[in-house]
Amino acid sequence: MALVTTFNLLFSISPNWDEIIEQRRQIKDMLIDYWLTNTLFSFNWWFLLAITIMFFIIWLIVLDKKRIIEIAAFGLIIGTTIFILDIIGITLVLWSYPDKIIPVIPPIIEIHHVHLPIIYMVIYQFFNSWKSFLTAMTMASLIFSFVFEPLTEWLGIYEVYNWKYIYSFPIYIFIGWIFRWTIIKVKQIENRR
């Protein structure tokens, strides 16, 4: 029996694409069913919706309208990068989001396209020197990694499987640093014209 099992493992036929698509359909149906029965209109759903609206309103109030393109470009790059990293983390089953406002998008869109980019944009707008920017990013990264991540995990919005909060800390800083540097370089190229 062990020989047959070993043979099957060594020479098993891998799933074909149609089987993978069928599994995706089943998971999609399960996710929507879970969202409709467990998430929609729950405390976490209302909490995420309220925080998202609040962040957006605060951003509209504090946004430097004279630098809107520059600041929004920084935020869009941040949001896109965080979104891609989140898809990688979810795909590798490092973490997941049981509760979110919109059920059919794997990452939690409200955190990665609203909350975090707005915080990054506010830091970018108000901390102009490298020293002040990196200090603010370090403080924000500490809060993201050791307050917000544990809080969202405690609330059941975020579940960690093969990840530690400490791993997030340098990533948050690096993302802010590299894209601030990128925007500054692009502005220098633009100003040379």
pLDDT digit string (tens) for 43-54? 999 999 999 999
User: Per the structure, how many domains does the chain have?
Assistant: 1
Torsion of CA 79, 85, 88, 93, to 10 degrees: -100
| Rounded mean pLDDT, 80-96 | 94
Task: Report whether pLDDT(156) > 60.
Answer: yes
Would you say residue 170 lies in a domain? yes
Would you say residue 45 lies in a domain? no
Task: Report whether pLDDT(3) > 70.
Answer: no
Task: Report whether pLDDT(6) > 70.
Answer: no
**Least confident stretch, 13-22, 28-37, 116-125, 159-168:** 13-22
Would you say residue 54 lies in a domain? no
Secondary element (H or E) of residue 167: helix 165-191
**Mean pLDDT, the chain, as a whole number?**
91
Would you say residue 4 lies in a domain? no
**Least confident stretch, 12-16, 20-24, 146-150:** 12-16
Task: Report whether pLDDT(170) > 80.
Answer: yes
Would you say residue 36 lies in a domain? no
Would you say residue 110 lies in a domain? yes
Instruction: Give the structural domain span for 119.
Output: 67-193
Would you say residue 39 lies in a domain? no
Would you say residue 15 lies in a domain? no
Q: Which stretches within 12-111 are classed as H helix?
A: 17-34, 43-62, 68-91, 109-110
